[in-house]
Amino acid sequence: MPHLKKRHISGVFLALIYLLQMCYIVLHAAFHVYPRRPPTLPHIHQSFFMKMFTWFSLLFLAIACRNTPEETSLTGDNLNLAQYASVADSNTNHLVFRSDDDGKTWQNMSAGLPTGAYVADIYVKENEVLVYGNMGIYRSSIQPGRTQWQKMLFPESFVTQLMPADEGLIGRSVDNNFYQEMPSSGIWIPLYKSLENRPLYTILKLEGTTVLSGSDNGLYKSNDTGQTWRKVSSEDFVSNIVRKGNLLLATSSKHILRSTDGGENWTPVMEGVGTYFGLGTIGDRFFAITDGNGMWDDMMAQNDSMANHLLISDQNGENWKHFEKAFFVGRDIFNYQDHQPSKFINDLETNGQYLFCSLNSGIFRSADGGITWELVLTPPKGFMYRLAKSGKTIFAVKANSQGGC
């Protein structure tokens, strides 16, 4: 375990305190052993002499406390466990927030989650909110004031994705293994072992036994719950599939794909700048987010554009428009403390009345459909928020993502 390093000056003052205490003890004993004052001592009353030593001790103690460093550094192997926990709590246990008033105020609901966790994302279903990452999956009631996190018994320790199923959830591990939750049982069973040698990025269950999967070399469809598969698109790195009614959308490394026949045929409808990493719905519209082109530092250093792209489509998902320019105008306004300017778009959500967008500099809120924005929550440096909603409530989780998911 680490030990706490203090400034040398604090050690000097503490040594002086110990010296004064020793003098106090010796003199106190002298006064009691020799009730009459020795001829060599000045004619000072005993109580006054002791009071002076007490006041000097308190003075040196106060100076020593002021010279103790406010920010404790952790090194070595001699730290008390209780001290270590308090340092970790104050620095890292601010993982999950909720807002019940359209983003005006945010409540920290992280108590009970492991500190220092690597969080991948947040997922909301029915009356539960779930967060997951290298600590597994934790679930809690969605009701305000009733947060009590409980760990789910997922077969693997690192969870990278949660997806809806007809019953329960589908979870993906860091090793690209898929499991389905048996409702109300706490049991997860392995899925799609027929694809264990092919990296999968996402799964979408349709009606009955029909399943779609996105992989590094195409889109696949199964009509027998994943026992057999056939390729329906050769687009590579298909990482997202979403559904709205009879309309299916997917993203590959180069395109947004669209299908209206249950995933049998896919048509590219939009070419991206960079790889698409985000795809979802906001009300009646779709949105897609790219991870930009180039290295993170190079993209953030650009002065003439945003680092990545946000695309918005109408109900049909055929026509897409760039939306990131709404943030480019004010990219340098919200330069919070030593955070970088607003340049990277990470997530998008709506509660019906307001549109919320997560950038590298914080969560922004718009009341006019994205024409104007205001900053409502700032993250620690090096983190961005992932968003989720339940009715009017917006949830934000501090995810370890920079430059995409």
User: Which of these three, 77, 97, 127, is where a domain ends?
Assistant: 77
User: Which of these three, 23, 52, 77, is where a domain ends?
Assistant: 77
pLDDT digit string, tens, across residues 163-222: 888 778 999 998 888 999 988 788 999 988 777 667 788 899 998 899 999 988 899 999
**Of 279, 380, 368, nearest to 336 (Cα)?**
380
If you write DSSP's letter for every residue of 202-243 in order, what string do you get?
EEEE-STT-EEEEETTEEEEESSTTSS-EEEE--S---EEEE
Residue 8: what pLDDT?
40
The domain tally of the chain equals 2
**Of 349, 322, 348, 163, nearest to 241 (Cα)?**
163
Share of the chain above pLDDT 70, in %: 66
Residue 147: what pLDDT?
87
Whether 57 maps to a domain, the answer reads yes
Whether 67 maps to a domain, the answer reads yes
pTM for this predicted structure: 0.70
Whether 347 maps to a domain, the answer reads yes
Measured in whole angstroms, how far is the alpha carbon of residue 87 from the centre of its chain? 19
**Of 400, 403, 379, 401, nearest to 97 (Cα)?**
379
Whether 317 maps to a domain, the answer reads yes
Whether 277 maps to a domain, the answer reads yes
The encoded tokens of residue 145 equal 């004031």
Residue 196: what pLDDT?
65
* End-to-end Cα spacing for the chain: 32
pLDDT digit string, tens, across residues 148-163: 999 999 999 899 999 8
pLDDT at 43 over 60: no
Whether 137 maps to a domain, the answer reads no
Whether 208 maps to a domain, the answer reads no
Whether 335 maps to a domain, the answer reads yes
CB 122 within 8 A of CB 397: yes
User: Which of these three, 22, 54, 77, is where a domain ends?
Assistant: 77
Domain extent for 305: 272-405
* Average pLDDT of the segment spanning 43-52: 46
